[in-house]
Amino acid sequence: MTEAIWRDMLGFEGYLSHELLVDDDDPGHLVVVSQWASREHADETLRRYADHPNARAANDLVSEPRRRIVASRAR
């Protein structure tokens, strides 16, 4: 499901890349770090993609709601 979602992201303006991290102590726990050209691009995609079947299916698989964190690289 995660792979399907990130294939979908290729079609959204401003999407740059992502990295999928797997929790070594809980392999069912995934963290995705995505890069966007701007926060506005990411916000628009989040809004538009929320009701997509892949997003709904991913929500059905999680034990707790997904959280979004907006971060920048440390300088």
Residue 69, domain member (yes or no): no
Q: Token pair for residue 70?
A: 């907006």
Residue 46, domain member (yes or no): yes
From first to last of its 75 residues, what are the pLDDT tens digits of the chain? 778 888 899 999 999 999 999 999 998 888 889 999 999 999 999 999 989 999 999 888 887 777 788 888 898
Q: For the chain, how many helices (H) and strands (E)?
A: 3, 2
Strand (E) or helix (H) holding 40: helix 39-49
At 66, the amino acid letter reads R
Q: What's residue 2's pLDDT? A: 79
Helix 53-61 with 2-9: angle, nearest 10 deg = 150
Q: What is the rounded CA–CA span in Å between residue 51 and residue 21?
A: 24
Q: What's residue 37's pLDDT? A: 96
What residue numbers bound the domain in which 52 lies?
A: 2-61
- Our count of domains for the chain comes to 1
Residue 18, domain member (yes or no): yes
Residue 21, domain member (yes or no): yes
Residue 66, domain member (yes or no): no
